[in-house]
A and B are shown apart, each in its own frame.
Chain A
Amino acid sequence: MEIKLSDFKKGMKGKIIDVLENPVSTKLAEFGILPGVAFSILNRAPFKGPIFIQIDNNRIALRFKEAAFIVVE
């Protein structure tokens, strides 16, 4: 089964493999969330709240639902 960004815990590092087609896929691409990019999880808000990731020098917060479209390893 594919692992999603939303499955990762705080402090984990990984690489984005694919971004599944979804209503906000353009927006994700625009924020540099693209296949091949390395990331680390800086923080996760409780109760499936937003996820705070770092890509390059960029700190981005996104919702759990959006993170579920991002396939990672």
Chain B
Amino acid sequence: MALLQIAEPGSINEPHKRKIAIGIDLGTTNSLVATIKSGMPIVLNNEHDEKLTPSVVYYGETSKIKVGKDALKHLITDPSNTILSVKRLLGKDINEIELSAKLPYNFTDENNMVKIKTIQGDKSPVQVSADILSKLSYLASQSLGEEITGAVVTVPAYFNEAQRQATKQAAHIAGLNVLRLLNEPTAAAIAYGLDNKTDGTFLVYDLGGGTLDVSVLKFSKGIFQVLAVNGNTAIGGDDFDHLICKHIIDNQNLTNLTKEDIASLIQLSKNLKEQLSFNESLSTNIELSSKQVLNITITQKEFYNLSNNLVNQSLLPIKKVLRDAKINSNEIDEVIMVGGSTRMPNIKDAVSGLFNQKKLLSSIDPDLVVAIGAAIQADILVGNKKDDWLLLDVTPLSLGIETMGGLVEKIIPRNSTIPITIAQDFTTQKDGQNAMSLHIVQGERELSHECRSLAKFSLKGIPPMAAGTARIRITFQIDADGLLSVRAKEQTTGIESSITVRPSFGLADTQIEQMLNDSIKHAKEDIETRMLAEAQNKATSLITMLEHAIEIDGDLLIDEEKSQLKTILANLNQAIEQQNTNLITKLTDQLTNAAETFAVKRTNRALKQSLSGKTINEVE
């Protein structure tokens, strides 16, 4: 045993060490972490022995942050400090957020940076996501007992640049080494593809809590090629909850509802929605803050009528993606259903209807499949398995620049295989012009203000030349994570122009640094808090014990000893009150020493008492 342990780290004698890699599904409603153990993907359990950790963060009155089920408990009593569905806010500006579902939070908007007001200060969606990721990362390292080399974090395929950047920043702040941002439907296809090991064309319909993704992939001779993706980052399971909630409010003519009422009604609607997948009719009641008791009855049929429009809307990306992939619906070998919302029978029927009533594939739990695929990919990326397959993904949205009159010129079309690099030459309009600005947008619309603004670039230091002679080559690169970077160079002189990136929203690097520092500081604070708590506990139990002993056996102490003990006791109580960790520890030790003679005397007395009345024989 010991002989096996003497190999020095990094020496050639060290047996091939498996690196620990995790896959994280950062979901709107629930988040999961998975890994590969003995060649098999497993989803790790949290402290409640559950695989699904609710993506909920509670910022309470003390500096403590709760994540998951423990945070969810505060939803009804303290909705504005309990943040849920934060993924729907990620990478969005205030206008986009206000357009989406009504949320019970108070937002601040400074320099296009949206934050949520909480009792612990303003929290950006990136920070909230980072808190969820930290929790999952902690869970994995606790469960695996080893250092984690890297993580694959999944994102909806239809996430734009801003949303991807925000996710990567959150992972960075959570201290994760991100091996790759992986598209969720692709992750699901990996989980299935490797299960079946058959070549074919798959369509993945992924309806999560807050996003809808549809992807078409071809698996052939060890290559996973994504042909096209489509989706809607504003449709999710949440919306079905809201439909039921609105139906209840309208039906019962409810007015003057408090935030707490709305939070409980939404939770109730969510439960009803889930139950309606298995029940034709449901009845329940709920008490509002006004003490009014509502009796609610809803049938499956009513719910399907309510959600008919939403279901139809969710089919549109399927039609679009097939068109983009240049594939007919009958050429799809398997339709894979992903996400908890695909358990709804009306969704299943609608999707199956588009594929000639084809049987849908959902043999892997739709809640777990994305995390499983991410873990498989992570394991390969850290080099544990030199696998013979490769993933080629695409960029979901076209990238363009604003030209004259606010029109968009597309530079990288949607569904281009990534990584991709495209260079485009620009020239100056005036003699001696030394700067030019560029506006980069993402989206399919023709006018720049209808697309998502990504960044405004200022090119400075262009050498003075006659109009139209400068040749500025701008190189756009989208890497394998789907993230954009831009370089610029004046071609005739070879001068690299300085480029200033002003993100149209989101975080600047300095802000990320600040948050990183804060989280390190917090970690330090956490340790200090824990040390204090431990010292206090130890001291308090010693005090209780000693006070009790003095009460019983006080006569064993001479006055001098008694007063010495009482002085230290008083000092220790004061130190506890002052929360002085060092002093508490010091005085606890002092008190233990001072009480030693007392303890010996007490032990002797106890011994004598237990011996009295017994014969010598018995003692022997």
A and B interact: no
Q: Which residues of A contact B (CB under 8 A)?
A: none
Q: Which residues of B contact A (CB under 8 A)?
A: none
